[in-house]
Copies of this chain bind each other. A is one copy, B any other.
Amino acid sequence: MMFTYDMSKAGANSLYHYLYQCIKKDIVNGNILAEEQLPSKRNLAQNLGVSVVTVENAYAQLLTEGFIYSLPKKGFFVADIKASDSSKLQQRKTRGKRRRPMENFEESEQVNPKYIADFVSNGADIEAFPFTTWAKITREVLCERQRDLLKVSQGAGTLELRSAIARMLREFRNIQVRPEQIVVGAGTDYLYGLLVQLLGFDKCYAVEDPGWAKISKIYGQYGVKVCHIPIQEESLTDAVKKSDADIVHISPSHHFPTGMVMPIGERYRLLSWAAESPKRYIVEDDYDSEMRMTGKPIPALQNIDVTEKVVYLNTFSKTMTSAIRIAYMVLPPHLAEKFHNELSFYSCTVSNLDQYVMAKFLNLGYYETHINRMRNLYRAKRDALLSAIRKSRLSDVATVYEEDAGLHFILQVQTKLSDAEFCKRARQNGVNIKALSEYYFEAEPSVHRFVINYSSVEKKNVQKAVQALVQACI
């Protein structure tokens, strides 16, 4: 008979959790069928000899996870769990004729658990997220800021968060900006779109080659002209001059994936190129400057810009967790004015709660503490990895480049294997890895280089991962 569970078997489990597991099992195994009504909470509680609250909590959990649904004034029913298989739509419609392009983008933010080490993922280390502090501040903000939380934030974000960001930039990056120059948005993806609207659909947007493909993909979405600038030539500025570029989107402090830093001379040349025409701008994507492992942080290009030509862009998703959707850009004053005139009618995409929590996290110094902790954590991961490589047979055939800045370095391997073949072998050995060549659009590399994103790798797996790479070489 249904719904007759021996509650004395709950053991160490809480009663409600045990009950939830029992019902879930029956639904999954098909013992209880879709659309079947569940007993009322009171009845089930009586039958099982538990309190109504226990049943309530079990039902709530089943509801949350979508195993059952409720109809007002009717009660609870078993959901058709086979119907809502998330890929079914695709299976039904596509029958294998198409697949998702760009899947590598999602892949590369999320760690794939089937690997010993996933050097493709550049996600933050989930374990290292200061969850307790974040939850504490969230609870405090919920208590203290009730009315503020329900007010509509300005389009550019709450003044509180923008002020906190301005202060942080001053202290960490020596960037002097006013809160009015800052625009907050739900992720850099969203801000790139705002930038196109701000700088113009009629401009040509140059991105780095090799580079992070999502950037040019997003510019492309807006139908604007996109060109690729080979960054490994003698001078980036010369390459820019040869192109149709109006807007140049770069990461001068730490290029992805090569890890290169733009020399100061080149920075001035690029700024002087931008100064030549009113329609030219530089977008400085400073996505992981906080994670420089050795030496001083590289000064921002924004620092030496006196011509109001640099838009500085950064995100908290890399340093905190991608689940927190807060990014920001710093506009030069005349562009900030243009933004307020033309684009501030947009509602801010970050919820007030997230904005206030982030502001408090910054203002109370937790962010600085967190960054320092992360830097140490990542440095330890990097050092373990470098040391394992040095001690392995990989050191005979491989050289490490650009290891000073986080959160990746380049491994150049002497091998007769093609890049694709090497990566395939590595994956078969349990290590996910991508060749630098895969990040190129038009330019082509001449050597076998691989990108090692180490942020998500567990230290206990470092030895095994390096062994897997050695195996792949042979």
Contacts and interface: CB of A to CB of B under 8 A. Distances in A.
A188 to B, nearest CB: 8
Contact of A152 (B89, B123, B221, B347): B123
B89 A180 contact: yes
Interface string A111-146: 000000000000100100101000100110011001
A64 B100 CA distance: 39
A348 to B, nearest CB: 7
A130 to B, nearest CB: 11
A335 to B, nearest CB: 11
Contact of A94 (B71, B337, B342, B354): B337
Nearest to A164: B66
B163 A150 contact: no
Given A142-B138, A349-B190, A363-B64, A180 B131 contact: no
A412 interface: no
A345 interface: yes
A340 B90 contact: yes
Copy number in the complex reads 2
For the complex of A and B, list the 5 residue pairs with the smallest distance between their C-beta atoms, beginning with the closest: A89-B180, A186-B349, A102-B345, A323-B352, A135-B142
Contact of A87 (B65, B109, B150, B340): B340
Interface stretch (A35-43, A153-161, A269-277, A295-303): A153-161
Nearest to A154: B106
A177 to B, nearest CB: 11
29 contacts: A12-B202, A64-B160, A64-B359, A69-B167, A71-B171, A84-B163, A89-B336, A89-B337, A93-B333, A93-B334, A98-B341, A106-B154, A106-B345, A126-B150, A131-B149, A131-B150, A135-B142, A150-B321, A186-B186, A186-B350, A186-B351, A189-B346, A190-B190, A218-B346, A222-B222, A223-B223, A323-B352, A325-B351, A351-B351
Given A83-B178, A178-B83, A221-B197, A106 B152 contact: yes
Contact of A214 (B87, B166, B186, B345): B345
A106 B344 CA distance: 9
Question: Considering residues A64, A129, A178, A179, which has the most beta carbons from chain B within 10 angstroms of its beta carbon?
Answer: A64
A351 B354 contact: yes
A109 B348 CA distance: 13
Nearest to A72: B368
A147 interface: yes
A85 to B, nearest CB: 9
Interface residues of A, number: 102
A12 B150 CA distance: 27
Given A83-B178, A325-B349, 6 more contacts: A69-B167, A90-B340, A138-B139, A197-B222, A223-B223, A323-B351
Nearest to A325: B351
Contacts of A63: 363-364
A373 interface: no
A149 to B, nearest CB: 6
Given A106-B345, A354-B351, A146 B131 contact: yes
A126 B147 contact: yes
